[in-house]
Amino acid sequence: EVGEALNRALKYAKKAEGFASVVEKLQPHLAKTTAWLGDNWHKLLGFVGLTI
């Protein structure tokens, strides 16, 4: 449920103006969150330009 909510939020945010300017700030937080969520959620890292 948390992963799905985060996925939806990131999809909307990516379309918003200014998203590119906050990507750097989001990277460490999203990396920790996807690690906590597990392997199925590593796909979310692509929103901020990270990969495993």
State the pLDDT at residue 47: 95
Mean pLDDT of the chain: 96
Flag whether pLDDT at 23 surpasses 90: yes
Determine the longest span between alpha carbons in the chain, in angstroms.
29
Secondary structure E strands in the chain: none
* Residue-level pLDDT at 48: 96
Q: If you average pLDDT over residues 8-14, what whole number do you get?
A: 96
pLDDT in tens, 37-46: 999 999 999 9
6: Cβ–Cβ under 8 A, 6 or more apart, which residues? 33, 37, 41, 44
What is the per-residue pLDDT for 52?
A: 86
What is the model's pTM? Answer: 0.84
